Amino acid sequence: MGGDADEVDDTDEDLPITLWRIGEHATLLHEGAPAQSVYVLRSGSLKCVKTLEDGYEQVVCFAQPGELLGFEALHCGRQPTSVVALEDATVYALSMTELLGLRQRCPALDDALQLALSQQLTRAAGVAEMMSAVASDVRLARFLLWMSARMAEAGRSPRRLLLRMCRRDIASLLGVAHETVSRSFTILADAGHVKVENREVEILDLEHLRMRARNTRGPLEEAARRRPQPTGKGTPMSALPWLPQMAALSVAA
Amino acid sequence: MGGDADEVDDTDEDLPITLWRIGEHATLLHEGAPAQSVYVLRSGSLKCVKTLEDGYEQVVCFAQPGELLGFEALHCGRQPTSVVALEDATVYALSMTELLGLRQRCPALDDALQLALSQQLTRAAGVAEMMSAVASDVRLARFLLWMSARMAEAGRSPRRLLLRMCRRDIASLLGVAHETVSRSFTILADAGHVKVENREVEILDLEHLRMRARNTRGPLEEAARRRPQPTGKGTPMSALPWLPQMAALSVAA
DNA sequence: CGAGGAGTTGAGGCTAGTCAAGGCCCGTGG
DNA sequence: CCACGGGCCTTGACTAGCCTCAACTCCTCG
């Protein structure tokens, strides 16, 4: 297996689903490792990191319980990121070789998989949105709101956050220096939006935090003027496409 | 339907796959629109944009032929981004309500779908990697290499790029001002790495362009020292998990 | 008790954002 | 036909914000 995790138990003879336990700082998936399983995070939190050629550790995302991991490797066979536990965590593991057969035998799992994948795509867009802000305090505000939303999804208090990752990891995700993260924390704290105590963050003024997070760049960037301009009128085409063709296409590109 | 596209033809009575033609600047998917179909881009190129509260148009990604679109909406029922054609384009449309049944009737399509989803996740991580660079010329270099890789995937020349998007869209994706994109283009051109003529870009020195793209931030950021540190040893757990539970979990979070 | 990581804060230089002007190209309309 | 307007792109000048380097504290761990 591609990780420092301990196999705990098979859950069922028929189903190749295994529960793994991952200790803090242990690596569940190694970047570049062959794809063998997909995982669903059961408890704890993880970070997905890409080690760039110059040795810089780029954090791509933080994973909360329920998230799907390792699925990216399906199309190229290798893991694009490493996955490291920020605290003790447990995951369900699902062998990739048996994934296909399993999907057919169990439509419920199949649907759940589709949903989870869809969700992961949405989250990826959310990460991009976070990084799109210019000002560093705005980035941090968005990050905190993002974490808060995750807590709410998980049914926990969205006001009290316990950040399991270090400042450097946050800085990496947001694309700023880790000192800047520190400064941005004090900016938000001085403004009375949050109370910060090391990794414990309490959101005091959600509304003002949201307002700050809205600032993207300049004053509206005149983008509001650029209306959709639907032209849309086009000539009909001959009906050559087909299902197999479509299937081939989506594999190809 | 949520778009200014023209329906062209049904491809098969049994299969709800339709070919749509989208004119330049037309919108295939509107942000916030209900999820009704998934699409596979057949020809042309698109951009996915998120209009933020302050009116700023955040470009999330550029789509090339073969990419899957609209799938993010599955889990929440609404499109998280708008999708706009950068040039005349065609897409295969697949009704979402019939998607489930179709997947079961045609495993080949199902597998293709999984692969495409996996690919989309990988691409999302790639976008994050692009934005992670600090220096603007490095960001642009990565963008050009990214476009080049897409061209190679499509079987076209990876050296001659025709950028269908305007500078402002590139700037939005990279998280910089559009003037900065201009300046970065001239930096790369002056360095002899590329030849730029409006939207036509020729890569002259791939190797040096790659070298420039490697610079992430500072000199190694001492991250190279932070070795994995596998602790990994943990106590076994009782075997409570199960397939239905796992399915429910991946839906829940 | 010392070593080292994590976090915070300060000083200074430089990148990139902002504002502004000008050129180019292409659409519409006089 | 050419004038005009309006994108798109580029370039310049100024300035704000962030990165870098550095020092210091706190805390954990061996």
**Beta carbons of B136 and B177 less than 8 angstroms apart:** no
The C-alpha atoms of residue A26 and residue B233 are separated, in whole angstroms, by 9
Instruction: Report, as an integer, the average pLDDT of A120-131.
Output: 86
- The shortest C-alpha distance from B248 to chain A (Å) reads 7
pLDDT at A250 over 70: no
Give A244 or B233, the one with higher predicted confidence: A244
Helices (H), chain A: 99-105, 107-132, 136-153, 167-174, 178-190, 206-214, 243-252
Mean pLDDT across chain B, nearest whole number? 81
Smallest Cβ–Cβ distance between A247 and the set B5, B67, B108 belongs to B108
Smallest Cβ–Cβ distance between B132 and the set A58, A110, A117 belongs to A58
The pLDDT value recorded for residue B43 is: 92
The pLDDT value recorded for residue B217 is: 63
pLDDT tens digit string along B49-107?
Answer: 998 877 788 899 999 999 999 998 988 889 999 999 999 999 999 988 888 788 878 88
Residues 120-139 of A with CB under 7 A from strand D: 134-137
pLDDT tens digit string along A183-239?
Answer: 999 999 999 999 999 999 999 999 999 999 988 764 333 333 333 333 333 333 333
- CA of residue B245 to C1' of nucleotide C20, angstroms: 61
Q: Which of residues 102-131 of B touch A (CB under 8 A)?
A: 103-104, 106-122, 124-125, 127-129, 131
Closest to B223 in 3D by CA, of A56, A22, A98: A56
**Beta carbons of B174 and B181 less than 8 angstroms apart:** yes
The pLDDT-based confidence of B13 (bands split at 50, 70, 90) is: very low
The pLDDT value recorded for residue B229 is: 32
Closest to B29 in 3D by CA, of B75, B87, B102, B91: B91
Its pTM surpasses 0.95: no
- CA of residue B22 to C1' of nucleotide D25, angstroms: 61
- Among chain A residues, the shortest Cα distance to B122 is held by A72
Mean pLDDT across chain A, nearest whole number? 81
The pLDDT value recorded for residue A231 is: 33
